[in-house]
Amino acid sequence: MKAKAFAKILILIIFSLGLWACSTEPVVDIAAVTAQPKDFVGSDTCKMCHLEHYDSWKMTLHSRMLQDAKANEDAIIVPIDEKAIREDLAKLEESLKVPSDKIYVPQKEEILYTIGSQWKQRYLVKKDDMLYISPIQYNADTHRWVNYHEQDWDKRPWLLKCGGCHATGADLEKNTFKEPGVGCEACHGKGSWHAALPKTAVFEKRNTIINPAKLTMGVAAQICGSCHNRGHATMKKGGGWPVGYEPGKALEAYYKSTSFEAGDVKHVYANEFSKGHHQQFIDWQQSKHSMEGVTCTSCHYVHQLGIPPTRSQTSFAGSKQCLSCHEMISNNLGHSIHSFANCVGCHMPRIAKSAESGDIHSHVFVTLLPEDTLRNPKIPNSCQTCHKHRNEDLKELQADWEALVRLPKPVGKTIESIPYKTAN
């Protein structure tokens, strides 16, 4: 009898001890954690505590930029059919530096990673333990294959040329990267300290990770600018991305952006508007928006549940984005004639190229008028992205515009002048 009661009590004690052990977090020595070198841990680690951010990030292209084609065969968006590929390449014969039947076309089994999926797709293959971009490119909207550095593809190592913008935790010394795609730590910095600290150490946790919203506006925008940019690394010869840069640092120290003035006529128009893709930061820096503190994240979200997905992760679809701040503008001058209020059509013309010319929007937010093209035929204008066939005569189109902007501004009625009936 006594022995039984003792056993019961013992079981109870052991049970509650177990409970106590489960309910308390293991004691983590904060000083010991922060004495270790800070490192990348990968988005799957962040997922454990930030599931909502993770889920919404998963729905963005950032998470899918570089995909492991061995782990997920569906990452390859089109059949790798050598015959069809060579047929398409043959159509470009005159501009090829290697004859279309001699260009290296990878077998599906050789493809280790895919790069991109929205505008175009390229494929990574391995040679002498280095990743290279194979010389074929699939353009998604036009469904055609084109060449890509067919003459020197195996002299351009992917990690050095592109790695830091397409993968997270790229390490040139170790010839590796932490995670394919633009992971959490690409924008929030190395997360090992932050992840290792207990949930209850809220302030230490906040202090060990970058929250862009808590940085000054310019420094925060440079995080986006570390990839939505074109130029060369200042710390590493041949580097296409800002080698050594970390979120929160000053980008200029690690990266020199390209410009027309510096001779890059391939990627920039004579008026310094972008002709190449991934240059949104270069455009934006020239805009009134950047001066007034309207940044990338004023218009784009990077992880937010509950917003209906838009093509470019804008908070509102198309021109509604502009009207969320510029409410009145569609009533005045030239604006009123374009009653469909296509702000983006005029202020963000598609004049830059990713896969095919004209698939990427300008981010200077300035309308290019017919007179801009009249002055320099190599500079496009916004109007002809729509008025191409009807208004071939640019002088006429410019004159029509001037006539429009001379229209008197509409004058709103004042409350007193609105006639109303009084009761009696």
Interacting residues with ligand HEC between 338 and 357 (CB under 6 A) = 338-348, 354
Nearest-CB residue for ligand HEC: 191
Binding of ligand HEC by 407 (CB under 6 A): no
DSSP state of 410: P
DSSP string, 194-239: HHHS-TT-HHHHHHTS--GGGS-HHHHHHHHHTTS--EEESSSTT-
The Cα 140–Cα 121 span in angstroms is 7
In the chain, what are the helix, strand and coil shares in percent, each to the nearest 5? 40, 10, 50
Smaller CB distance to ligand HEC: residue 100 or 274?
A: 274
> Does residue 116 come out as left (phi exceeding 0), alpha (psi in the -120 to 50 range) or beta?
left
Q: Which stretch binds ligand HEC (CB under 6 A): 2-10, 11-19, 77-85, 296-304?
A: 296-304
Q: Which of 222, 258, 319, 373 binds ligand HEC (CB under 6 A)?
A: 319
Residue 179, classed as helix, strand or coil, is strand
Q: Which of 161, 236, 256, 353 binds ligand HEC (CB under 6 A)?
A: 161
Binding of ligand HEC by 296 (CB under 6 A): yes
Binding of ligand HEC by 67 (CB under 6 A): no
Total binding residues toward ligand HEC, as defined by CB under 6 A: 118
Binding of ligand HEC by 320 (CB under 6 A): no
Please, what's the largest Cα pairwise distance for the chain?
108
Binding of ligand HEC by 213 (CB under 6 A): yes
Binding of ligand HEC by 274 (CB under 6 A): no
Binding of ligand HEC by 224 (CB under 6 A): yes
Helical (H) or strand (E) element with 273: none
Q: Which of 98, 260, 330, 371 binds ligand HEC (CB under 6 A)?
A: 330
The Cα 393–Cα 408 span in angstroms is 26
Binding of ligand HEC by 388 (CB under 6 A): no
Q: Which stretch binds ligand HEC (CB under 6 A): 29-37, 38-46, 82-90, 265-273?
A: 38-46
Q: Which of 147, 222, 314, 373 binds ligand HEC (CB under 6 A)?
A: 314
Q: Identify residues 93-122 at the interface with ligand HEC (CB under 6 A).
A: 115-120, 122
| Contact indicator for 348, 365 with CB cutoff of 8 Å | yes
Binding of ligand HEC by 233 (CB under 6 A): no
Smaller CB distance to ligand HEC: residue 100 or 179?
A: 179
How many CA atoms lie within 13 Å of 362's alpha carbon, on the beta-carbon side? 28
State which amino acid sits at residue 61: L
| Contact indicator for 194, 200 with CB cutoff of 8 Å | no
